[in-house]
Amino acid sequence: MKQLLLVFLGGGIGSAIRFLIGKQFTFDSFHFPWATFIVNLIGSFIIGIVFGYMLVKGKIANDLFVFLVAGFCGGFTTYSAFAHESISLLKAGQTQLFLTYVLSSIFIGFFCVWLGYMATDLLF
């Protein structure tokens, strides 16, 4: 029950922050979905830090792990919005923007996870 509460709290905080970021970053003249792109990259970086910390230190408190990964990052990042926005770009005939969004999300997302791993070597 405690872990469920931690996921609930972390998810609520992550969702609220994602909502606020969405209010700040609207589509630009190219209709690039900046808000989803930004939150997914930040979430990737946070997960990289958490898992990197686990590799460096050998473990992390289970409650903190559940709060950050399943809760906060689960509520903060959004695969469903990414998928919807990608399909919307295709339906609008913006194939080049679709490819830019999808490929940059994937590759920069992987880079952010790796960067999070590397940051733990410097921080811990």
Tokens 């209709």 belong to 31
User: What DSSP assignment string belongs to 50-108?
Assistant: HHHHHHHHS---HHHHIIIIIIIIHHH--HHHHHHHHHHHHHTT-HHHHHHHHHHHHHH
100, 85 contact by CB (below 8 A): no
Would the pLDDT of 62 be above 70?
yes
- pLDDT(56) > 90: no
Query: Rounded to two decimals, what is the model's pTM?
Result: 0.89
pLDDT in tens, 14-30: 999 999 999 988 766 66
Contacts of 65 (CB under 8 A, 6+ apart): 50, 54
Measured in Å, how far apart are the chain's first and last C-alpha atoms? 31
